[in-house]
A and B are shown apart, each in its own frame.
Chain A
Amino acid sequence: MRSPSPVVVHPPGRMIRLLGVILAVTAAMLGVFALSASPAMAAEGDPYRISGNVQLDGEPLEGVELVIDGPGGKQTVETDENGQWRVSVPEKDEYTVTLDEDTLPEGIAVVDPEDDSPNEKEVTVGAGGRVSVNFFIGEGERNVTSIWDQFVQRTVQGLNFGLMLALAAIGLSLVFGTTGISNFAHGEMVTFGAVAASFLVSAGSMALPLWIGLPLAVVLSAGLGLVLDMGLWRPLRRKRVGVVQLMIVSIGLSLAMRYTYQFFIGGGTTQLPYASAPKLSFGPVQLSWIDIASILISIVVIVGFALWLTRSRLGKATRAISDNPSLASASGIDVDYVVRVVWIIAGGLAGLAGVLYAYYRPGIKWDMGAQILLLMFAAVTLGGLGTAFGALIGSLIVGVIVEVSGLWIPDDLKYAGALVILIVILLFRPQGILGRRERIG
């Protein structure tokens, strides 16, 4: 693999300084978050329960499917022979329970004249940690969404998710292209954006207005990219540390950052303002204005980034380094400077993705970035390692696959589907869709 930095003889003091810097970065992160200590300390595992009983005229109905959606992801459950069902959920929070009417006996539906979607119920897991949900079942007309409408809805959702994923994946791809690092800590850079946003705009802490707070969170994230490059990655480049070592360093960094977030925000989920904005209907598609804003922001930023990459001197230099670092260096490009800019951009884009992801999930959690890290890798590999445009296309494909595959496979396996695709792609076309095949020998 390549090592873009010029040969530098490092004095003995450098290692000590590097060590100092790592400790300092960790300490600084601890310090920043000490200001925003928030409560919410859920234990590990899923301690809370939502349960219910599905009966028709006192007779239990077996094999009726219910979907429970909310923090911790979608879960599907079936009623047992007594018509009972229960699921474990990780948060004391709002959940949507949907009864799949296709699994009811013929001619039977959930009926409630006062509700236009009686098979869907919102519940809140309260202080007791347990809540039960019951549906009125009787003869009547079903509320079904046609598979086509679901498909459209999920595709739009998938595009939204894919655009958000692209913001994160582009940075991951740029960093890989210019430095050769498979950065496992990129998920934590995403989380950083969300956590910083929460710190800046939450009512409990700084309570800044959204229009200042959220951009500021992105700026802070870009700053994190800069700090990481100056404090960690550049010294390691100088030391000519190999790519495998760098990868494992990034794993250590990922662990350290991830648990630092948990240290300060705990194991629970917190929400940004307007996270539960009402949905507006556009034909079969339901979107909140937050979703629409998220899509628009992603598109504007990605287009802006694309212009920068293709038009500006610096963007061209970045592509030149991805192509051939030694040649770029020999042509007078300041590789170190460009790589630093790449880290700043990667940090900023990851932070923005974090803010948008906090709305998409919805919620901010200490390991939210780590949850989508492999999807980012999937997107980047799908598009071709090290090419920014490949990362964009890969992200859109992964986003849509993740959402749409939920139509056919259980929702809690939808990430698994994307990962299987990642594995298959690596096996048959390791250079990705847009990548070039490497010459061997």
Chain B
Amino acid sequence: MDWIQILSNTASSILSPATIGYALAALGLAVHFGYAGLLNMGIAGFMAIGAYGYAISVLSFDLPWWLAAIIGLAASAVFALILGVPTLRLRGDYLAIVTIAAAEVVRLLFLTTAFDDVTGSADGLSGYHGSFREANLLPEGTYGIGPWTYSANDWWVRILGLVTLAIAVFVVWTLMRSPWGRVLKGIREDEDAVRALGKNAFSYKLQALVLGGVLAAAGGIVYALPSAVSPGVYVTSLTFFVWTALLLGGAATVFGPLLGSLIFWVLQTFLSNFLPALVQAGVLPFMTQIQAGTLRFILVGVALMLLVIFMPQGILGNKKELTFVK
């Protein structure tokens, strides 16, 4: 078994665009669920809109990468408004069903052959890297140490991803310590009480939905930046994985989503390297390598159940401040 390779891959995942993308999406979900109490089960839809918005803007409209990214975020904000205006008055579990259905509709619209010219249907979109890589401030070459050795282009993705994440964390952290965040948390606890105090609860929920949606779209863009946009990624499982990362770290915290995503991806990468290696070494004789790869998703499901039952506040959450109040 090649331990060096396994550990190196695992360590490398700490800085992977996937980890950063999940962290952004989970942070958006923290705004939705942890702070505003909105059961958004459609986070994959927001990520898809961000990623497709970016890719389509570059490929179909020939826009520069930064403008494309802004369009991706704006598209997600518009989606949040369209979804939020009619649905935010629904009861919690109804909202969950509406959002998951809306995310599926979004995915099916990207998948259908009817818009193949623009969306690439089942093949997805790729080859949108030109202007993004031209803007790279790093000279050509390979940098870094040990497992964190990447090409200039790979670093460019990671640096921008981390900068975006840092800004996002700062914004959410500031908001949640402000009176705005206080109103939002009040709404999570009891919407009617907050309305009775003269706050427009609906407007706050909508603002939270848009903010979280934009963060999730940023996550979708970072996730898709290094390679391609594929409709197979934005399935409901993606939503559930982001939820797992969020609940792992702590739903009503700012750094919990980051920690949760980090642990999620480090474990995923480790298991996806380690389990097949075990099979190869003949330690798990009743399993094929592909089965070993599937096993880690089973473990995600079991972990999600255990988390919700035994540690609903997450790693960084306050035991007293359980987020599941209803």
**A256 contacts B302, C-beta separation under 8 Å:** yes
| Binary contact readout B73-99 vs A (1 if CB under 8 angstroms, 0 otherwise) | 000000000000011001111101110
Asked whether A413 and B108 contact (CB < 8 A) given A41-B290, A255-B240, the answer is yes
Set of chain B residues within 8 Å of A251, measured between Cβ atoms: 240, 243, 304
> Among B111-119, B149-157, B208-216, which stretch is in contact with chain A?
B111-119
**B286 contacts A34, C-beta separation under 8 Å:** yes
**A248 contacts B308, C-beta separation under 8 Å:** yes
Most buried by A among B96, B105, B288: B105
Asked whether A377 and B97 contact (CB < 8 A) given A75-B113, A244-B324, A370-B236, the answer is yes
**A426 contacts B98, C-beta separation under 8 Å:** yes
Instruction: Tell me if A245 counts as interface (CB < 8 A to partner B).
Output: yes
Asked whether A76 and B113 contact (CB < 8 A) given A34-B286, A182-B97, the answer is yes
**A19 contacts B306, C-beta separation under 8 Å:** yes
Asked whether A245 and B309 contact (CB < 8 A) given A255-B304, A259-B298, A262-B294, the answer is yes
Nearest CB in chain B: distance from A339 CB, A = 18
**CA gap between A357 and B96 in the complex, in Å:** 26
A23, A34, A243: the one within 8 Å of B302 (CB): A23
**CA gap between A416 and B112 in the complex, in Å:** 10
Residues 242 to 259 of chain A near chain B (Cβ within 8 Å): 242-245, 247-249, 251-259
**B101 contacts A422, C-beta separation under 8 Å:** yes
Instruction: Tell me if B56 counts as interface (CB < 8 A to partner A).
Output: no
**CA gap between A157 and B290 in the complex, in Å:** 37
| Binary contact readout B310-326 vs A (1 if CB under 8 angstroms, 0 otherwise) | 10100000000000111
Instruction: Tell me if A155 counts as interface (CB < 8 A to partner B).
Output: no
**B105 contacts A252, C-beta separation under 8 Å:** no
Instruction: Tell me if A381 counts as interface (CB < 8 A to partner B).
Output: yes
Instruction: Tell me if A347 counts as interface (CB < 8 A to partner B).
Output: no
Set of chain B residues within 8 Å of A412, measured between Cβ atoms: 108, 111-114
**CA gap between A26 and B303 in the complex, in Å:** 12
Nearest CB in chain B: distance from A16 CB, A = 10
Nearest CB in chain A: distance from B320 CB, A = 16
**B93 contacts A378, C-beta separation under 8 Å:** no
Set of chain A residues within 8 Å of B291, measured between Cβ atoms: 263-264
Nearest CB in chain B: distance from A117 CB, A = 23
Set of chain A residues within 8 Å of B308, measured between Cβ atoms: 245, 248-249, 252
A22, A45, A257, A426: the one within 8 Å of B94 (CB): A426
Set of chain A residues within 8 Å of B294, measured between Cβ atoms: 259, 262-263
**B298 contacts A256, C-beta separation under 8 Å:** yes
Instruction: Tell me if A236 counts as interface (CB < 8 A to partner B).
Output: yes
Instruction: Tell me if A56 counts as interface (CB < 8 A to partner B).
Output: no
Instruction: Tell me if A423 counts as interface (CB < 8 A to partner B).
Output: yes
**CA gap between A258 and B301 in the complex, in Å:** 9
B96, B240, B326: the one within 8 Å of A1 (CB): B326
**CA gap between A368 and B244 in the complex, in Å:** 23
Set of chain B residues within 8 Å of A32, measured between Cβ atoms: none
Residues 41 to 100 of chain B near chain A (Cβ within 8 Å): 86-87, 90-94, 96-98, 100
Nearest CB in chain B: distance from A423 CB, A = 5
Residues 89 to 138 of chain B near chain A (Cβ within 8 Å): 90-94, 96-98, 100-102, 104-105, 108-109, 111-114, 122-123
Asked whether A260 and B97 contact (CB < 8 A) given A245-B308, A416-B104, A427-B87, the answer is no
Interface residues on chain A, size class:
35 or more
Nearest CB in chain A: distance from B264 CB, A = 13
**A252 contacts B301, C-beta separation under 8 Å:** yes
Asked whether A44 and B232 contact (CB < 8 A) given A245-B308, A263-B295, the answer is yes
**A410 contacts B247, C-beta separation under 8 Å:** no
| Binary contact readout A59-89 vs B (1 if CB under 8 angstroms, 0 otherwise) | 0000000000000000111000000000110
**CA gap between A76 and B325 in the complex, in Å:** 47
Instruction: Tell me if A123 counts as interface (CB < 8 A to partner B).
Output: no
Residues 1 to 49 of chain A near chain B (Cβ within 8 Å): 1, 15, 18-19, 22-23, 26, 34, 41, 44-46
**B108 contacts A252, C-beta separation under 8 Å:** no
**CA gap between A440 and B109 in the complex, in Å:** 37
**A245 contacts B98, C-beta separation under 8 Å:** no
B86, B97, B101, B309: the one within 8 Å of A249 (CB): B309
Nearest CB in chain A: distance from B293 CB, A = 9
B101, B112, B247: the one within 8 Å of A248 (CB): B247
Set of chain A residues within 8 Å of B286, measured between Cβ atoms: 34
Closest to B307 in A: A252
**CA gap between A410 and B116 in the complex, in Å:** 12
Set of chain B residues within 8 Å of A252, measured between Cβ atoms: 240, 244, 301-308
Instruction: Tell me if A420 counts as interface (CB < 8 A to partner B).
Output: yes
Nearest CB in chain A: distance from B103 CB, A = 10
Set of chain B residues within 8 Å of A45, measured between Cβ atoms: 122, 230, 232
**CA gap between A249 and B244 in the complex, in Å:** 11
Set of chain B residues within 8 Å of A244, measured between Cβ atoms: 39, 92-93, 324, 326
Closest to A414 in B: B108
**CA gap between A374 and B100 in the complex, in Å:** 8
**CA gap between A88 and B97 in the complex, in Å:** 31
Set of chain B residues within 8 Å of A77, measured between Cβ atoms: 113
Closest to A418 in B: B101
Instruction: Tell me if A415 counts as interface (CB < 8 A to partner B).
Output: yes
Nearest CB in chain A: distance from B312 CB, A = 6
**CA gap between A255 and B111 in the complex, in Å:** 22
Instruction: Tell me if B280 counts as interface (CB < 8 A to partner A).
Output: no
Instruction: Tell me if B300 counts as interface (CB < 8 A to partner A).
Output: yes
| Binary contact readout A347-386 vs B (1 if CB under 8 angstroms, 0 otherwise) | 0000000000000000000000010001001100100000
**CA gap between A413 and B112 in the complex, in Å:** 6
**A381 contacts B295, C-beta separation under 8 Å:** no
List the 9 shortest-distance A-B pairs measured between CB atoms, nearest first: A256-B301, A255-B301, A252-B304, A252-B305, A259-B297, A416-B108, A419-B101, A259-B298, A263-B294
In the complex, besides A245-B312, A256-B302, A410-B113, 19 extra interface pairs with C-beta distance below 8 angstroms are A1-B326, A19-B309, A22-B306, A23-B302, A75-B113, A88-B122, A182-B96, A241-B309, A242-B325, A244-B324, A255-B300, A255-B301, A255-B304, A259-B297, A374-B97, A374-B101, A410-B114, A416-B112, A420-B105
Residues of chain A whose beta carbon lies under 8 Å from any beta carbon of chain B: 1, 15, 18-19, 22-23, 26, 34, 41, 44-46, 75-77, 87-88, 182, 236, 239, 241-245, 247-249, 251-260, 262-264, 266, 370, 374, 377-378, 381, 410, 412-413, 415-416, 419-420, 422-423, 426-427, 430
- 14 inter-chain pairs at a CB distance below 8 angstroms, sorted by A residue, are A243-B93, A244-B93, A247-B39, A249-B305, A251-B243, A252-B301, A252-B302, A252-B308, A253-B301, A260-B298, A266-B290, A412-B112, A416-B104, A427-B98
